[in-house]
Structure 1
Amino acid sequence: MKKPVTKLDGLLFDKDGTLFDFHATWSAWAKGLIVTLAEGRPGVAEALAAALEFDLEAERFRPGSPAIASPNREVVACVAGALGTADVDAVEAVLDYHARHAPLSPAVPLAPLLEGLRAQGLILGVMTNDSESTAHVHLKAAGVAELFDFVAGYDSGYGAKPEPGPLLAFARAHGLRPGRVAMVGDSTHDLLAGRAAGMQTLAVLTGAAGAGELAPFADHVLAHIGEIPDWLAA
């Protein structure tokens, strides 16, 4: 039985797979990245696809891919290993460049949704295991940067999900009780972090994980973030 909704003062969103549809955005990005880095070398393309757990034929990430929820630096290390280079910083610079130009596909029209939530008095934040700088670029490109009161990445100094540190940093920054904040995400990393922080947990199905995987860690499961207003009203 799902828990009743406690009155909320804040919503903390994951970025990829939550604000932006994961496969529509990142599978297209991965295909282009692999082609670029492989430079026509089939063996390298296969090694990159294996490291990222990306199905080249289906052009889709597999459920266990590190790109789904791991901190960006871990994804960089996987790519560097596939390329056979120890210069992780150089690889990170390349990935950051490509990530900033990813073909973003919002899960729903973001501006009207977020404006409506703010109109209800909710404090809104983003916590992603991507870099903070890339998060700002993506939110600005989507035209919603000014609608968030807090943006943090794995490199913002609070830690990374599934640790609760960055979630608690959001609550502290705005004087919110964790129990009156909901962590909204598409992965078990998001939900485990929310549970550890003492927050409500709200799963959405616009990432790589299905309802069966997410439900044990979520207070509620929605198809996408566009259902949040009805969930709050109910």
Structure 2
Amino acid sequence: MTVDAFLFDKDGTLFDFAATWDGWAARVLEALSKGDLDAKRAMAAVISYDLEREAFNPDSLVIAGSNDEVAEVLAPFVPDMDAGELAEFLAESAAEAELAPAVPLAAFLDGLLARGKVLGVMTNDAEVSAKSQLHRAGVLDRFVFVAGCDSGHGAKPDPDPLLAFCKAAGVSPDRTAMVGDSLHDLEAGAAAGMQRIGVLTGMALREELLPHADIVLPDIGHIPGWLDR
């Protein structure tokens, strides 16, 4: 089927998940625990983060969950912040994370734009983090739509934020591809009536994504070749 538009997830899709977020999480847990090792271990456990490896486990809530969901499970261990304040702290901290693009983004996105494709981003991170990171990567202006879990459209796997992109961009869902690294991305794409492209720059394995995707690619850089086929 023809694809007129691509809606990208951010973490694990535009940016390699582990390379961007494993080290960030170690710094956040250190800051929030304030030297309390028991609290640090407890927070690591609830977000399924391995302190020894300094890496997320594949079942971590952080991989596909929203900022609010992550803040909710961490809040009991951070007595000086409520869940709302903690979500804001996470968003502000994430906006400054060291980014690891999955591919050279400017060239990749410009190639899709040259083909006449419309581009957007929908992430379960906060909108301020998403826009900050895309700006720092030098590609924010390539997207006609950038939404986070707090943008008023809901969060994945709800299809509403995906349909909001279609409305804003003036494209039909069945001629739009949702591109993501998690089941949340692909389930949202299916619910919205979109084509679904899975990528392996997140934590999920090919066999996990394949039943829910039209195609699973190693990374977004393989999309032009897929279009040509």
Structure 2 Cα separation of the partners of residues 204 and 218 of structure 1: 10
Amino acid at match of 1:148: F
2:29 aligned with 1:34: yes
Aligned to 2:49: 54
Q: CA deviation at 1:86?
A: 6.4
Question: 1:62-85 CA distances to partner (integer Å, 9 max, x unpaired)?
Answer: 111110001110011111123246
Structure-1 separation of matches of 2:53 and 2:3: 40
| SS of equivalent residue, structure 2 residue 222 | helix
Superposed CA deviations along residues 40-90 of structure 1, whole A, max 9, x for unmatched, are 211011011012110111111111111000111001111112324661122
- Take 1:56 and 1:40, find their aligned partners in 2: how far apart are those partners? 14
Q: Tell me which residue corresponds to 2:170.
A: 175
* Alignment correspondent of 1:91: 86
Partner of 1:127: 122
**Partner SS state of residue 221, structure 1:** strand
Show the counterpart of 2:213: 218
CA 1:170–1:207: 2 relative to 1, 3 Å: same
Aligned position for 1:138: 133
Equivalent residue number for residue 155 of structure 2: 160
Query: For the residues of structure 1 that align with 2:75 and 2:5, how far apart are their CA atoms?
Result: 38
**Structure 1: which amino acid aligns with 2:193?**
G
Partner residue, 2:98: 103
The percent of aligned pairs where both chains have the same amino acid is 52
Superposed displacement of residue 28, structure 1: 0.8
Aligned match of 1:3? none
**1:86 and 1:139 mapped to 2: Cα distance?**
28
CA contact (8 A) 2:120 2:145 kept: yes
Instruction: Point out 4+ residue stretches in structure 1 off by more than 4 angstroms.
Output: none
Preserved CA contact (<8 Å) 1:13 1:185 = yes
Say which of 179, 184, 195 aligns to 2:179: 184
Distance 1:151 1:206 in 2: 20
| 1:196-207 aligned within 5 A | 196-207=191-202
Structure 2: how far apart are the matches of 1:98 and 1:12?
A: 25
1:125 and 1:97 map into 2 onto residues whose CA distance is: 22
1:78 aligned onto 2:73: yes
Q: Which amino acid aligns with 1:53?
A: S
Cα deviation for residue 155 of structure 1 reads: 1.1
Q: Specify the code of the residue in structure 1 equivalent to 2:18.
A: H
CA distance, structure 1, for counterparts of residue 10 and residue 162 of structure 2: 14
TM-score (norm 2): 0.97
Aligned to 1:229: 224
**Partner Cα distance (1:162, 1:90) in 2:** 24
Q: Which residue of 2 aligns with 1:23?
A: 18
Amino acid of the residue matched to residue 127 of structure 1?
M
In structure 1, the partner of 2:143 is 148
Q: How does 1:3-18 map to 2 (within 5 A)?
A: 6-18=1-13
Secondary structure at 1:192 match in 2? helix
- State the one-letter code of the partner of 1:116: G
| Residues 214 and 42 (structure 1), Cα distance of their counterparts in 2 relative to 1, 3 Å cut | same
Q: Are 1:67 and 2:23 counterparts?
A: no
